[in-house]
């Protein structure tokens, strides 16, 4: 939540030069994710494709097999220049 009130002015800046990521560390809100899903890496890689970018400190959610799983974005790293 941004904590905005009606008629608040918001300055939005479009950033078009975001480097591709090489690592995203996520902290699940519940240990159920690891026990409910047999191939967690494959599910995470597939679900992360739905996000165009991530922000450290944010919380994201995945829906899988009728359940919603919440994760905190703990760490992000960019790929070295020239790598994708």
Q: With 80 as the cut, is the pLDDT of residue 84 above it?
A: no
**22-32 CB burial, b ≥16 within 10 A, e <16:** eebebeeeeee
* Assessment of whether the complete model's pTM goes beyond 0.85: no
Confidence tier at 82 by pLDDT (50, 70, 90): low
**pLDDT tens, position by position, 11-58:** 999 888 878 888 899 999 998 888 898 899 999 999 999 888 899 999
Predicted local confidence at residue 57, as pLDDT: 95
Cα dihedral across residues 8, 14, 15, 20: positive or negative: positive
């Amino acid at each position: 939540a941004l904590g905005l009130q009606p008629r608040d002015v918001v300055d939005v800046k479009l950033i078009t030069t975001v480097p591709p990521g090489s690592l995203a560390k996520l902290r699940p809100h519940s240990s159920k994710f690891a026990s409910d899903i047999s191939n967690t890496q494959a599910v995470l890689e597939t679900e992360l494709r739905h996000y165009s970018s991530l922000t450290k400190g944010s919380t994201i959610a995945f829906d899988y097999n009728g359940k919603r799983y919440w994760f905190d974005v703990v760490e992000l790293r960019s790929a070295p220049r020239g790598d994708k």
